[in-house]
Amino acid sequence: MPKIGQINELTILETCSDGYNLKAEDSDDLVLLPEAYAPRNLEIGQKLEVFLYCDDNQVLIATTEMPNALAGEFALMKVVDVKPFGAFLDWNHDKDLLVPESEQRFPIRLGESHVVRICIDERTNKIFGTTKINKFIQEAEFDIDDGDSVTLVPVTDEELGFRCIINRKFIGMIYHNEIFQDITMGEPLQGIVKKVRLDGLVDVALQVQGFKNLVNAQDKILAYLAELGGKSPLHDKSSPDEIRSTLNMSKQTFKNTIGILYRAKKIIINKDGIELVAP
């Protein structure tokens, strides 16, 4: 069956006055692909990946314009219009997403950006957004585990760190004391799951944790030394800010790593810096 709010692979069945009728292999339901949303040079029998939604007349509509979140997912969206009954947010789709007034945790104002979950009204099959996301966090069914690589999007800067959307399906946090690079709100980053929590939240980091972190740091320090011709003025007495700005790592990680490299006889530690051991 075609799935509303999701990307579906449908087959072009026939042309019609408004565009094309599409259908899924396991369903007789017809889906309208309006001419305005149709790519050029389509052929009968051709398969297309399309996003489905229901219009005001309960007609299934297909479009090749993909939104930045599907039903059941979270996204950071900007408010583009506000009406007495709700707010409209830009979700990279031909029709802005409605967040009804009843689905707003706090009143939404024009120009703001909010974390929104995409939902489907079971009665009308229409797609809507909600900023009342706590129940979805608490009911999260995880398909990730500690140590997994994830895509995360920072959405708010809070006291402890940056609140993030993780794999578009979960909400979590990167802690300030574990961030060693500039963060841009809404800009996707690659991260690592530190802990999947019982409260439905996820702790994440931008570095691999534990001993693996030191292995990666070794490569970074060795490459840094090679780029400088084998010597660096950085040493274990350098300031945390100097180490962070140079290598994007904490002073503790730097000290642990140069200790490992020294014991492996790959570097020499001097009073005024470190240097590679000549091969």
CATH code of 98's domain: 2.40.50.140
Closest CA to 243 of 212, 275, 267, 221: 221
Cα–Cα distance for residue pair 199/213, rounded to 1 Å: 27
Tell me which of 184, 205, 226 is where a domain ends.
205
Whether 111 is in a domain gets the answer yes
Question: Are residue 162 and residue 194 in the same domain, yes or no?
Answer: yes
Provide the pLDDT confidence category of residue 23 given band limits of 50, 70 and 90: very high
Whether 113 maps to a domain, the answer reads yes
Q: Is the pTM of this model over 0.85?
A: no
Using a 10 angstrom Cβ sphere, with 0-12 exposed, 13-18 middle and 19 or more buried, the burial of residue 207 is buried
Q: Is residue 244 part of a domain?
A: yes
- State the residue range of the domain holding 158: 143-205
pLDDT at site 133: 97
- Residue 237 CA to residue 160 CA, distance in Å, equals 27
Confirm if 32 and 61 have CB atoms less than 8 A apart. yes
CATH number for position 238: 1.10.10.10
User: Structurally, how many domains does the chain consist of?
Assistant: 4
What secondary structure does DSSP assign to 44-113, as a single string? TT-EEEEEEEE-TTS-EEEES---SS-TT-EEEEEEEEEETTEEEEE-SSSSPEEEEGGG-SS---TT-E
The per-residue pLDDT for 93 is 87
Q: What does the pLDDT read at residue 174?
A: 96
In this structure, the answer to whether residues 59 and 86 fall within a common structural domain is: no
For residue 68, is it within any domain?
no
Other CB atoms within 10 Å distance of the CB of residue 176: 13
pLDDT on residue 248: 82
Q: pLDDT by residue (tens digit) across 66-100? A: 999 999 999 999 999 999 999 999 999 888 999 99
Same domain flag for 231 and 216? yes
What would the mean pLDDT of 97-120 be, rounded to a whole number?
A: 97
End residue of a domain, out of 132, 156, 171: 132
- Residue 215 confidence (pLDDT) above 80: no
How do beta strands 47-54 and 189-196 pair?
unpaired
Q: Among 172, 189, 205, where does a domain finish? A: 205
Dihedral of the alpha carbons of 134, 140, 144, 148, in degrees to the nearest 10: 10
List pLDDT tens digits, range 269-279.
988 899 999 87
